[in-house]
């Protein structure tokens, strides 16, 4: 690279950094105060883009930006008041499920309102052209964007440092319980913070339209970038988000400038993994205040009653006789449900009793699946051996990744699991010669005697039930109790001689093993495997299953997996806007049964 191109790539990096910061700032603000992991932030950004593109022909680009931002901010206020406010008292992470439902609904709304085609906005009037810098042409609008980032940073800084409202926000970010105890009205504070965060998302989206078209896929792209920036910067730290955006923007620009463009597929996740390993609370984040009070302790799982056990055995027996009553597609669907139930229970083991939130559990599922495919197709082992040995791929990854992850906690831990999952995904996605690249591996079918649907159903049934039973049994073994002790009170657990990290590490590997088994079963049931098996949406599906079922119930994840898989299957067949329908069902369930499906059964059985 010549000096001139270094300068220009540096400026390109600055322009991307500004764009990144605008989305991330709102997300960081919202998380800092309300502790909501807002999946819908990218959707609000997308709405900002569409609103600005729609308004620009009538009011001009420059007016469309503040109008779109205000509209999205107002929508944020409404969503907070009508939906999220109901959920602050509910079990943790339920808001995450609610915002996931919003993602589905907003995506279908945008499709309905603005149609399927990408909408390229106008260039910004007055800044259409380019300025000459070091012999190259650099867009005037990018110069404006470069200025936007620091301006918004300064404005937020003033707001947070110089106003009473800002003081309250900082107090709540640092220690929410204390702020509450001192009489800060949380309702108003949360509402206004969420509205401001949404407004920033809308602003970020609107300012982006001279650079890229409004598309229906932008929401999920933006949200993962924004999360990375927020976590690298340190949750709740606005200057940290700015610093992280700069770091990631520049690294990406220079990857491209130096000719390593393939590396951009996962570079932000590599950066995040390195930062989190070295600085567990991000660049400028602080150690979160300890969680106090009763909320920190979940009720211990009671041993299932005799009646509950009998009911579970009855369900298992009923599943055994299904093939006698119905063949064909019912078995195909049940096979999917069973192996997803195994996957969900393994994630629940990690998140619930283990207390380790994971956004990247699909990595172990996917590695189990790829393990099966690689052993069968590349090593040409028998199907039985492939099925048995495949989960070892997942175990190996869990041993390595888990060692780093258990050193963190909370959302930082979750984001590190995501980083490892994304890095694994990008390797699988690009290693054409070995993993088949983006197309994946094709032709992974069960051997002769298992090739029938019924036979394979029985294999899946037996394996899944055994796996689920093993995980549930372990919860009531000393290992399970030690794991829960580490979750509920690390200090006390440590004091009585439990090596909390070692227990967590073992728990991580244990959960990875069963996710890997589910993945291997999945590969043989589909006949092919592609990188989607370990991509983010698969991890999110797992989270949704666990949360729908109820994080603090024993059997919940199984019902969650069954309901979610069945919903996807049947709703997609019956409705054009099936995503919105699934979103609406999830929202209804979140409000009606905040404890999850498992809690209904528990309430019944305790009566």
Partner 1 sequence: MKLASPLLLSAALLCSNAQAEPVKIGELNSYKTFPAFLEPYKKGWQLALEEINAAGGVNGRALEVVSREDGGNPGEAVRVAEELITRERVSLLMGTFASHVGLAVSNLAARRKVVFIAAEPLTDKIVWENGNRYTFRLRPSTYMQVAMLVPEAARLQKRRWAIVYPNYEYGQSATASFKKLLSAAQPGVEFVAEQAPALGKIDAGAVVQALADARPDAIFSSLFAADLQKFVREGNIRGLFRGTAVFNLLAGEPEYLDTLKDETPPGWWVTGYPWKQIDAPEHRAFLETYRARWQDYPRLGSVVGYAALYTAANALRKAGSTDSEKLVAALEGLRMRTPFGPIEYRALDHQSTMGAYVGQLAQRDGEGVMVNWRFADGARFMPADAKVRALRKD
On whether the CB atoms of residues 446 and 515 are closer than 8 A, the answer is no
| 8 lies in the binding site for partner 1 (CB under 8 A) | yes
Position among 151, 292, 432, 588 found at the interface with partner 1 (CB under 8 A):
432
Q: Least distance from C-beta 304 to partner 1, angstroms?
A: 32
Nearest to partner 1 of 346, 530 (CB atom): 530
Nearest to partner 1 of 80, 225 (CB atom): 225
| 528-567 residues near partner 1, rule: CB under 8 A | 528-530, 532-533, 537
> Which segments of 124-258 does DSSP mark as H helices, in order?
140-162, 164-174, 176-181, 186-208, 218-233, 238-257
Nearest to partner 1 of 165, 566 (CB atom): 566
| 310 lies in the binding site for partner 1 (CB under 8 A) | no
Position among 60, 129, 307, 384 found at the interface with partner 1 (CB under 8 A):
129
Cβ-proximal residues to 413 (8 Å cutoff; 6+ apart), any chain: 356, 357, 358, 405, 406
Q: Least distance from C-beta 41 to partner 1, angstroms?
A: 17
| 437 lies in the binding site for partner 1 (CB under 8 A) | yes
- List the x/- string, 38-67, binding to partner 1 by CB under 8 A: ------------------------------
Q: Integer distance in angstroms from the first to the last C-alpha of the chain? A: 73
Pick the stretch among 13-21, 193-201, 226-234, 301-309 that binds partner 1 (CB under 8 A): 13-21
DSSP letters spanning 58-93: HH-HHHHHHHHHHHHHHHHHHHHHHTGGGGTTSPTT
| 438 lies in the binding site for partner 1 (CB under 8 A) | yes
| 175-214 residues near partner 1, rule: CB under 8 A | 210-213
For the chain, the C-alpha Rg in angstroms (whole number) is 25
Q: Least distance from C-beta 201 to partner 1, angstroms?
A: 18
Q: Least distance from C-beta 205 to partner 1, angstroms?
A: 14
Nearest to partner 1 of 185, 432 (CB atom): 432
DSSP letters spanning 281-292: TTTT--PPPPP-
| 216-275 residues near partner 1, rule: CB under 8 A | 216-218, 221, 252-253, 256-257, 259, 261-262, 264-265
Nearest to partner 1 of 192, 430 (CB atom): 430
Distance CA 604, CA 607 (A): 5
| 335-394 residues near partner 1, rule: CB under 8 A | 336
Collapsed DSSP state (helix, strand, coil) of residue 527: strand
| 510-529 residues near partner 1, rule: CB under 8 A | 522, 526-529
On whether the CB atoms of residues 360 and 421 are closer than 8 A, the answer is yes
Q: Least distance from C-beta 404 to partner 1, angstroms?
A: 25
Q: Least distance from C-beta 386 to partner 1, angstroms?
A: 17
Q: Tell me the number of residues near partner 1 by CB under 8 A.
A: 74
On whether the CB atoms of residues 273 and 408 are closer than 8 A, the answer is no
Longest dimension (CA), the chain: 80
Nearest to partner 1 of 74, 333 (CB atom): 333
Q: Is the Cα dihedral 387, 391, 393, 396 positive or negative?
A: negative
Pick the stretch among 50-58, 130-138, 289-297, 388-396 that binds partner 1 (CB under 8 A): 130-138
Tokens 């291997």, residue located: 520
| 13 lies in the binding site for partner 1 (CB under 8 A) | yes
363 closest CA partner among 266, 277, 275: 266
| 9 lies in the binding site for partner 1 (CB under 8 A) | yes
195 closest CA partner among 34, 349, 329, 324: 34
Query: How far lies 386's CA from each of 196, 441, 478, in Å?
Result: 52, 14, 32
| 12 lies in the binding site for partner 1 (CB under 8 A) | yes
Nearest to partner 1 of 403, 434 (CB atom): 434
Nearest to partner 1 of 440, 556 (CB atom): 440
Pick the stretch among 123-131, 506-514, 556-564, 591-599 that binds partner 1 (CB under 8 A): 123-131
Position among 158, 439, 469, 473 found at the interface with partner 1 (CB under 8 A):
439
| 332 lies in the binding site for partner 1 (CB under 8 A) | yes
Nearest to partner 1 of 15, 156 (CB atom): 15
381 closest CA partner among 369, 393, 389, 392: 389
538 closest CA partner among 565, 556, 562: 565
| 566-585 residues near partner 1, rule: CB under 8 A | 568-569, 572-573, 578-579
387 is written with which tokens?
């099925």
Nearest to partner 1 of 186, 430 (CB atom): 430
b/e sequence 570-602, b meaning 16+ C-beta within 10 Å = ebeeeeebbbbbbbbbbbebbeebbbbbbbbbb
DSSP 499: -
Nearest to partner 1 of 516, 556 (CB atom): 516
On whether the CB atoms of residues 560 and 546 are closer than 8 A, the answer is yes
Cβ-proximal residues to 545 (8 Å cutoff; 6+ apart), any chain: 340, 343, 344, 347, 557, 560, 561, 564
Q: Least distance from C-beta 138 to partner 1, angstroms?
A: 7
| 116 lies in the binding site for partner 1 (CB under 8 A) | yes
Q: Least distance from C-beta 560 to partner 1, angstroms?
A: 18
Pick the stretch among 30-38, 138-146, 180-188, 376-384 that binds partner 1 (CB under 8 A): 138-146
Query: How far lies 212's CA from each of 69, 208, 268, in Å?
Result: 17, 6, 20
């Amino acid at each position: 690279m010549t000096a001139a191109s270094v300068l220009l790539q540096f400026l390109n990096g600055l322009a991307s950094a500004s764009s990144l910061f605008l989305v991330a700032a709102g997300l960081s603000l919202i998380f800092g105060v309300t502790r909501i992991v807002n999946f819908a932030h990218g959707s609000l950004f997308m709405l900002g883009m569409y609103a600005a593109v729609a308004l620009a022909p009538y009011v001009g680009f420059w007016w469309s930006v503040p109008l779109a931002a205000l509209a999205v901010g107002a929508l944020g206020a409404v969503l907070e008041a009508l939906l999220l406010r109901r959920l602050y008292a509910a079990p943790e992470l339920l808001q995450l499920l609610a915002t996931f439902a919003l993602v589905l609904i907003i995506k279908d709304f945008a499709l309905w309102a603005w149609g399927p085609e990408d909408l390229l906005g106008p260039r910004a009037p007055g800044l259409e052209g380019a300025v000459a810098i070091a012999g190259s042409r650099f867009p005037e609008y990018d110069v404006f964007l470069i200025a936007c980032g620091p301006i918004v940073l300064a404005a937020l800084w003033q707001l947070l440092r110089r106003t009473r409202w800002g003081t309250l926000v900082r107090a709540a970010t640092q220690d929410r319980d204390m702020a509450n105890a001192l009489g800060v009205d949380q309702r108003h504070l949360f509402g206004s913070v969420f509205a401001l965060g949404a407004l920033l998302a809308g602003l970020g989206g609107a300012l982006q339209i001279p650079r890229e078209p409004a598309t229906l896929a932008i929401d999920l792209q933006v949200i993962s970038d924004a999360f990375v920036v927020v976590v690298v910067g340190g949750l709740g730290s606005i200057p940290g988000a700015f610093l992280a955006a700069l770091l990631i923007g520049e690294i990406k620009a220079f990857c491209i400038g130096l000719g390593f463009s393939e590396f951009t597929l996962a570079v932000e996740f590599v950066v995040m993994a390195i930062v989190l390993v070295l600085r567990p609370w991000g660049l400028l984040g602080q150690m979160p205040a300890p969680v106090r009070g009763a909320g920190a302790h979940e009720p211990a799982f009671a041993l299932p009653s005799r009646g509950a056990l009998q009911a579970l055995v009855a369900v298992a027996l009923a599943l055994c006789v299904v093939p006698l009553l119905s063949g064909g597609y019912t078995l195909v669907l049940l096979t999917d449900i069973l192996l997803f139930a195994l996957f969900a229970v393994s994630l629940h083991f990690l998140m619930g009793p283990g207390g380790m939130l994971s956004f990247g559990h699909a990595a172990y599922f996917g590695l189990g699946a790829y393990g099966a495919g690689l052993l069968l197709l590349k090593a040409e082992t028998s199907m039985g051996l492939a099925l048995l040995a495949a989960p070892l791929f997942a175990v190996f990854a869990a041993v390595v990744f888990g060692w780093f992850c258990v050193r963190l906690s909370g959302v930082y831990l979750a984001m590190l699991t995501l980083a490892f999952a994304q890095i694994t995904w990008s390797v699988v996605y690009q290693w054409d010669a070995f993993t088949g690249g983006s197309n994946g591996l094709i032709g992974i079918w069960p051997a002769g005697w298992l090739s029938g649907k019924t036979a394979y159903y029985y294999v899946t049934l037996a394996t899944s039930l055994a796996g689920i039973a093993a995980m549930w049994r372990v919860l009531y073994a000393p290992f399970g109790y030690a794991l829960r002790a580490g979750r509920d009170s690390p200090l006390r657990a440590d004091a009585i001689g439990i090596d909390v990290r070692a227990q967590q590490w073992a728990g991580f590997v244990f959960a990875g093993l069963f996710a890997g088994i589910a993945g291997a079963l999945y590969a043989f049931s589909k006949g092919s495997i592609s990188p989607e098996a370990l991509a983010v949406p698969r991890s999110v599906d797992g989270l949704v299953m666990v949360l729908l079922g109820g994080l603090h119930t024993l059997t919940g994840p199984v019902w969650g997996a069954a309901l979610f898989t069945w919903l996807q299957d049947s709703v997609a067949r019956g409705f054009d806007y099936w995503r919105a329908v699934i979103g609406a069902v999830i929202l209804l369930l979140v409000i009606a049964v905040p404890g999850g499906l498992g809690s209904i059964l528990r309430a019944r059985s305790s009566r």
